Amino acid sequence: MITKFLKNNSIMLIYAVTLLSMFMFVKTVNPIVNYIRYAYVFFMGIFVVAKHKELLFNKFMLLILGCFIAHTVIFGFMLAPDSLSDIIEDNTIDLILFWGFVIFTAQYVWKNRLDKQFLIFSQIATTLFVNYCYITNFNGIAPVKFLPTLFGAGINRIRFTFGLSATNRAAYIALAAFILSLMVWRECFNNKKLFSKEWTFFEVYVFFSGVVSVLVMVSTQTRGALLSAAIFFVLTSILDKECLFKLNFKNIDWKIYFIFAAVLLLFYAYFVFFNADSRSENLAINLDLFLASANQATGFGYTPFSTFLTQGFGLATRPIDCYYLYILCATGFTGLALILISMIIMLTRAIRIYCFEATSTLKNSYIVLYIVMIFIAFSESSFVAPYSPYSYIYWVMFLLLFLGQYNDSGNITEKG
């Protein structure tokens, strides 16, 4: 049965192997492993075009992808400072590869109606990596022992990296494992009750992987990842119900959702910038350097965010754990405006899909995931991140959300 499933989903298996190799590159930094994604994009580009003859986009998708790709081209080629041309060129190639990966994968999944298969293979690849990191860096009862420090008890938080370069990196990969495991449980197991009598091997694996992902997040003591996991769990539970406390959410004006979400995000942004220990200090230092030394219209240059950590601009920059500030410093107010407009348009469209169009529990999860990523972007530079494999997964899901709906006959109907 497993052999038949893999045979019928051979392209998805190739995708999963590529994704797993990208996770392994995060740990090993082996350039040979990194090149596997180049081969995947080349193969998928030829395969998708050869099989389907064309790439189909609605007007909304062309607008959004056009904005992000235009941002990449303008600041990666046209406005790149000569002094940083090599670094920016490498970053631009990675970004173009990122968009190729996302577009070709989303097109294949969408046209063949493989949403759940994509979900399953993404979950397997991500959790295999997280489980491997956890088992090979097993920390016993540490998640329970040091839990009080997560809530401020004690002088310093005790944090574990599980063999990766940073605690936050481990935390947000584990968050992806948690989200994907939860989505698989709900979509593929029909939200099976935990105390059911019969469990398949895969159900046991998904449950075990979900538990491990939580243990890793708790061990890293990364509050943003744990809060994001809680937000995803709660919001998906709410949106999946037509009526909660006799209140029909779909009859509420979508603008109320938008305003409520904006208030929460601004509140969290205030916390990140002014009350988040060393992160607040680092963000303030980078912002001051940008205002004092950079071209405020076009920024320092569209380099990877790691350039701020390595002080590649020749200034005393600090780690820049905020996607919005990273875009501002790298591409100036012009680049930030282009990205923010795109993100707001996407958020508005997501809310309208939930309120006024045909939706499903899976699409509701995509909507909440997008909101969670906007939230995470205040404390991590991972909204569009070529070296964060989960960013590829999330963006494929976003494209699947915004592409046309399927009708009853299995054909695709495009909506703007």
Please tell me the predicted confidence (pLDDT) of residue 261.
Answer: 64
Given a contact cutoff of 8 angstroms between Cβ atoms, the answer to whether 392 and 384 are in contact is no
**What are the tens digits of pLDDT across the range 136-180?**
999 888 887 777 777 665 557 788 999 998 899 999 999 999 999
Whether 5 has a pLDDT exceeding 80, the answer reads no
Whole-number Å distance between alpha carbons of 283 and 349: 30
Q: Quote the Cα angle for 306-102-381, to 5°.
A: 25
**What are the tens digits of pLDDT across the range 24-36?**
999 998 888 989 9
**What are the tens digits of pLDDT across the range 113-129?**
999 999 999 999 999 99
What's the mean pLDDT in 84-96?
92
Please tell me the predicted confidence (pLDDT) of residue 23.
Answer: 96
Residue bearing tokens 């540490």: 142
Characterize the bridge pairing of strands 243-244 and 247-248.
antiparallel
**What are the tens digits of pLDDT across the range 216-257?**
999 998 888 988 998 899 888 887 665 444 445 555 555 666
Whether 293 has a pLDDT exceeding 60, the answer reads yes
What's the mean pLDDT in 314-339?
92
Lowest mean pLDDT across 76-80, 273-277, 387-391, 404-408? 404-408
C-alpha separations of 412 from 49, 165, 265, 364, 408 in Å: 17, 43, 34, 19, 9
**What are the tens digits of pLDDT across the range 340-371?**
999 999 998 988 888 877 788 899 999 999 99
Q: Which residues pair with 248 in a beta bridge?
A: 243
Of residues 90 and 256, more confidence is placed in 90
Please tell me the predicted confidence (pLDDT) of residue 272.
Answer: 53
What's the mean pLDDT in 280-287?
84
When pLDDT is cut at 50, 70 and 90, the band that residue 312 belongs to is confident
**What are the tens digits of pLDDT across the range 48-79?**
877 766 677 778 888 999 999 999 999 999 99
CA torsion 248-251-252-254 (nearest 10°) is 130
